[in-house]
Amino acid sequence: MQPFFSFTRMDRLLEVANMEAVLFCRPSSFLYFTTLPWYERLHFSETPGQYVMPTAGYVRGRPEQAFATASPRMDFPDFKAQNIWISDIRPMMLAVPYERQAEFIVQVLDEKGVQSGQVGIERGMLPHDFIAALDGLAPDIRWTESRDVLFKLQAFKSGEELDRLRTACRITEKGMMRVFDRLAAGVTPEDLMDVFITSTAGLYTERFGHFFSVHFKDFHFTGQALKRPLLKPETLIHIDVSSIYKGLISDIGRNFYFGSSVPPEVERCSLACTKTMQVVFDRLKPGISCAEVDSLSKEVLFDTLGDATGLDVGFHSHGIGWILYSYPCISPEPEGEILPGHAFTLEYKVKYPGIGHFKCEDTFAMHEDGPECLCGLERKLFVKSGTSPEGG
């Protein structure tokens, strides 16, 4: 399997950052770099005082020198059969002290001809004792934070990555419609989480984490088990789901109304969010500045919404992929342009006190010939009537 990135882009980013090499020691970045099977993540776990460190690296201008570790519990001939692009794959060190892992990394870099200069590493994501061990073992190497290099590398998606995003969106949409079907008087946020999780085989979604967010009217439920409150008729429901499929994250938000009659203010706010997304999508093109997208989003949403007195309006569009928030930076602090290969979200929010939270969010990709929406779920307010505990 070919790497998700181009060697030319990698070498250019390292040259600009003045790095001789870069290491990938965080599970998601390691799997991105190596294309090793996603199940390898199962072997990255902490034990008291120790850490199983996934390790891979790239030497600037020498892709043939790339190296990686893989769990010795797996069959190495199996890795070879999957045509992993890296030929130098070594057994991963399991549950050994930080000093021993640092020694291993310094030894490999020495074999590759890197004994000095700057080497990129995700310092902020790694244990302090591990970084200190690297400093002590290789004083001529400056271990430099590499997150920005990695984010810029990951910003441009390959065809395989976009296929994974499409799959994540498709499975997520199925789960959201199962949630809609389950709406009935008396269900709880936790009930809806259960429905989503059990109907989206193949996805990873944090059961009680930020990745699955439910609103009943003004109340926001995430990060905890919730047996209360019970859903009642005439309630606005918002569901925002970030799901992972083979490492790639999709982001989708939709609104549902459970009741016999939709209030005009609910219709107004829902329409403002969905119309804004369609108008902005129709204006997207390769090379459009993020500032232009941000400005157009605000103009359309406020014009469509009309009187926004007392409302909390938000714009949170962002790059997406191997992490939830990445390049391109669109809102609220726009930076750069949306280029072919970028994957991103458009995300519009309106909080109406006493009624609830409105949001429309989809995941997109930019191509040479224009944008593609990776989500197929209709952008509208989904309405289900109901007045009894058995639903409507």
CATH code at 7-154? 3.40.350.10
Higher pLDDT, 97 or 275: 275
Segments of the chain assigned to CATH 3.90.230.10? 159-384
The reported pLDDT for the residue numbered 80 is 65
pLDDT band at residue 44 under the 50/70/90 scheme: low
Q: Where in the chain is the domain with CATH 3.40.350.10?
A: 7-154
pLDDT of residue 12: 98
Best CA proximity match to 329, nearest among 321, 147, 338 = 338
Give the pLDDT confidence score for residue 55 in this predicted structure: 87
Distance CA 355, CA 296 (A): 26
pLDDT, residue 390, reads: 47
pTM of the model: 0.89
**Digit-coded pLDDT (tens) for 228-242:** 678 999 999 999 998
227 — pLDDT class (breaks 50, 70, 90): low
Give the pLDDT mean for 236-257: 92
In angstroms, how far is the first alpha carbon of the chain from the final one? Answer: 50
pLDDT exceeds 70 at position 43: no
Give the tens place of pLDDT for each residue, 172-208.
999 999 999 999 999 988 888 889 988 987 777 665 5
CB–CB of 43/71 below 8 Å? yes
- Separation between Cα atoms, residue 173 and residue 169, nearest integer Å: 6
CATH top class, domain 159-384 = alpha beta
| 368: pLDDT strictly greater than 90 | yes
Tens digit of each residue's pLDDT (9 = 90 or more) over 134-158: 999 999 999 999 999 999 999 999 9
Q: For 29-38, what is the mean pLDDT?
A: 84
What value does the mean pLDDT take over residues 15-28? 93
Count CA within 13 A, CB hemisphere, residue 178: 17
Query: Per-residue pLDDT averaged across 71-76, rounded?
Result: 63
* Residue 28 pLDDT level (bands cut at 50, 70, 90): confident
Region 243-248: what's the mean pLDDT? 88
Confidence (pLDDT) at 62: 97
Contacts of 139 (CB under 8 A, 6+ apart): none
Helices (H), the chain: 7-17, 27-34, 76-81, 98-111, 128-137, 147-154, 159-182, 189-198, 264-283, 290-305
Q: Which of 162, 160, 157 is nearest to 9 (CA)?
A: 157
Mean pLDDT of the chain: 89
DSSP state of 230: P
CA 295 to chain centre: 24
Q: Which residues contact 202 (CB under 8 A, 6 or more apart)?
A: 167, 171, 245
Residue 76, pLDDT score: 60
- Bridge pairing between strands 288-289 and 141-145: unpaired
Task: Quote the CA–CA distance of 263 and 243 in Å, as a whole number.
Answer: 31
Is 392 a residue whose pLDDT tops 60? no
pLDDT beyond 90 at 89: no
pLDDT band at 46 (very low <50, low <70, confident <90, very high): very low
